[in-house]
A and B are shown apart, each in its own frame.
Chain A
Amino acid sequence: MKKLSECLQGAFIAILASPFILAWLPAIQAMLTGKVSAPYLDSLFSSFRQLSITLGSTLLVVSSVTIALGYASVQWPIVGKITASALDAIESVPAILIALFCYAPVSGYLAGHSGSSSAFVSLLVFVFAAALTTLPEALRGITLPLGDLYYRKYSLSFRSYGFTRSRILTVLLGTHIMKDAFKRTCAGILLKTLVLDCSFGFIIQLGFGSYGTPAHASPGALIAANRDALFAGGEPLLFWIPVIPLVMISMAFLIMFDDGKAKEI
């Protein structure tokens, strides 16, 4: 049976991450109509809907690649060494630079094409950039505990019974330790992707304006579009409205990440 504190923590995380759910409910949007301008409200809701798609897609891609590479790294150590070296090199480059360099070549295409094709390309490019930047840490988060488990005594005794390496690894991937490691890795991927998406959206909107702005909406771009609201004569609420749900969501991922880390320690 779960402890009360764990249940409360789960409920708290659900409340903090609720903007993702609320963004998909038309009733909530209808409730807020009239309090702020309709185009702003549309942008706000669509940016959080889009953010949930971006985070979901990135999580799906990165976690699949992480499990496959983590498995291969322990199964064939040479693959692990080569992958680790390549990812170390990628990790040495600031994430925002990788995202900028992935976007720069397609910015013209994105500005020239409207509609779903542009949004799809934009999302694809972003998922690629986010995958590159989050993969090194995610892979370490899976490979280190998996390798550690594989070289423990009970894994060695499995081998003496004639279990194949792949079968042992499959069993180990289903253990509680690996599930906790996976939970923590997922929280890390989500947190890093959220930070990258919003920072990148803000920077691109600031630098390029509407030209070359990622076709998929981002709360960061919405904040940048209303950045002058903080100056005299502006409406500061327009700046802070997207910030509050962003802080809530980040906090939810932070708690998930911290919880996984505490269990690991």
Chain B
Amino acid sequence: MRFLRFLALEFLLRGVLFAVLGTAALASLYFLSIGSPAEQYAEAFRSFILLLSGSSDFSAEHPGFSASRIIMSGAAITLPLAIASLLILVLATLSAAAMSTTSQYLESEYGRKASVNFLYPGKFLSALLSSVPLFVGFWVLGSAFGSNAPFIPIAFISVALGGLGWDAGRFLLADMRTQMDTTHTTVFTTLGLPLGRLFPLPGTYSGYLLSSSFPRFIPYLAGKVPAIIGGVTIAEIIFSFPGLGSTLMDALLSHNTDLLIASLFILLCVNAIVTFIVKTVLFLMYPRWYEKAV
């Protein structure tokens, strides 16, 4: 019953309905701004229904754009890039938080300042990279690889530059530090288990801290999905990937409203899918926290 409620709320209401209403709102804003007649709204609505039905020629005004082609551009480029960025963000943040908390623990318990001093250059580098605009990193990568840039470096740049990784690191670290002073953590340290200095694996000190912070970190990640999708959209435009970002730009350039609405809808669907994946992880791992967040 709880799972059905989760599906209804997250998949239908916050997923499907959000994508449809978001598309309708942005498309209406566009039509209102250009002063479109009522017939154009109706025409766009009809094309939208054709897209949903998977028509091979969904746009009556601009034939040639198949629904499956647009959906595939989202599935083949935008979604993998977004998921790769999300995974890199999670791995980098967990690793940075493990290194920082264990160094702090070693300093407070054993007076080992060397490990904490080692972190300062890392923190400075992280802040410096966050200050570099995302598009600069993409363009520099593009100047080396052209349109054949591999996905992993693009995903890495999406996380390291522009502040996404820095902010996530700050969030998790602040949360894990509050757990360090608690009685249950002090008791855990008496068990003599490894520290987990590089990664917070289960059964380690950093892993134990993470287990308390993770239920708050997952909703934070869900809130960052639009920023990841935004970064991926910029990457697609810069690298001229045939993804949704480029399709959207082409639609804006050619004033093709049907294509604009279709690519916007698929982009919002990708956004909703990635958010749904993150929330499913929260629901499966911490159902009580999920209920609390709802």
Q: Which residues of A contact B (CB under 8 A)?
A: 89, 91-98, 100-102, 104-107, 191, 195, 198-199, 202-203, 206-208, 220, 223-224, 227, 230-231, 239, 243, 246-248, 250-251, 254-255, 258, 261, 265
Contact = CB atoms under 8 A, between A and B. Distances in A.
A100 B131 contact: no
B237 A105 contact: no
B138 to A, nearest CB: 9
Given A105-B34, A207-B237, A208-B252, 19 more contacts: A92-B226, A96-B234, A97-B248, A100-B252, A102-B29, A104-B33, A195-B134, A195-B162, A195-B163, A203-B135, A206-B238, A207-B253, A208-B253, A239-B139, A246-B133, A247-B131, A247-B133, A251-B128, A265-B174
A95 B128 contact: no
A261 B252 contact: no
B33, B132, B134, B166: residue with the most chain A Cβ atoms closer than 10 Å: B33
Contacts of A208: 252-253
A191 B264 CA distance: 26
A243 B166 CA distance: 19
19 contacts: A89-B18, A92-B275, A93-B26, A95-B230, A96-B230, A97-B233, A97-B267, A100-B248, A104-B33, A107-B252, A202-B135, A206-B237, A207-B237, A207-B252, A220-B133, A224-B135, A230-B140, A251-B128, A258-B127
B141 to A, nearest CB: 11
Contacts of B134: 195, 199
A97 B234 CA distance: 10
Contacts of B30: 101, 104-105
B170 to A, nearest CB: 7
Contacts of A227: 139
A209 to B, nearest CB: 10
B227 interface: yes
Nearest to A255: B127
Given A92-B18, A93-B22, A199-B135, A104 B252 contact: yes
B180 to A, nearest CB: 13
Interface of B: 18, 21-22, 26, 29-30, 33-34, 127-128, 130-136, 139-140, 143, 162-163, 166, 170, 174, 177-178, 223, 226-227, 229-230, 233-234, 237-238, 248-249, 252-253, 260, 264, 267-268, 271, 275
A250 B264 CA distance: 30
A230 B223 contact: no
B95 to A, nearest CB: 20
Nearest to A208: B253
Given A94-B226, A96-B234, A199-B234, A254 B135 contact: no
A94 B227 contact: yes
Q: Which 4 A-B pairs have the closest CB atoms?
A: A105-B33, A94-B230, A250-B131, A230-B143
Chain B: interface secondary structure? helix
A169 B230 CA distance: 37
Given A254-B127, A254-B166, A231 B143 contact: yes
A247 B253 CA distance: 30
Contact of B29 (A95, A101, A191): A101
A245 to B, nearest CB: 11
A5 B207 CA distance: 34
Contact of A92 (B130, B132, B271): B271
B170 A261 contact: yes
A96 B233 contact: yes
Contacts of B249: 203, 207
A254 B125 CA distance: 13
B131 A254 contact: yes
